[in-house]
Amino acid sequence: MLPKYEVLQQLQQSKVVAVIRGNNQAEAVAISEAAIKGGFHAIEVTYTTPNASDVIKILNKENALVGAGTVLDAETARDALLHGAKFIVSPHFSEEISKVCNRYAVPYLPGCLTIKEMVTAYEYGCDVIKLFPANNFESSFIKAVNGPLPHVRIMPTGGIHVNNFTQWLDDGAFAVGIGSDLTKAFKEDGAQGVMEQCKKYLSKI
């Protein structure tokens, strides 16, 4: 297992995390593999995807950092870790999930919207906060948070797309999570569409 700091370092270096929501296991694997071939190195498989744990296990054979998303409870977090997830993401903050992740030295990125939630998450050992849904905010929100909390690192997710993600990165985002762009590309043009969309992102970094 990779040390926690190495996982965080890889996430930050990747800059873009592909958030995968498949209608079924095969679709999730196909989108993920296309994203990896397109140059993305960080994949977040959401637990809204059927058989998400099996998707994670399959993707661990690829040259990518694979984590679990939409993790709502400690039981799901442990299931994801047992299947090889290198990081855990949830749409909310959970004390129980943080305990499981801390126990196994795995990064936990909880969804937070308020300063109070962010401070609480940091008190429970979270190193990066997921701002979700980010489309409710301007990218300048990160600088506003880093005024009183300069140590807080934020990964915006939700409403991030190829035309605005660099602004978030320029304004201090740790990384960004994107998903709907890839899902749409897959529905329109299959794996080739996903690869081309990934290259559009990477060309702007």
What is the set of active-site residues?
44, 130
Report how far Cα 127 is from the mean position of its chain's Cα atoms. Answer: 13
Give the chain's length.
Answer: 205
Count of other CB atoms within 10 angstroms of residue 157: 26
- Burial class of 169 by CB neighbour count within 10 A (0 to 12, 13 to 18, 19+): buried
Q: CA 92 to CA 117: how far, in whole Å?
A: 9
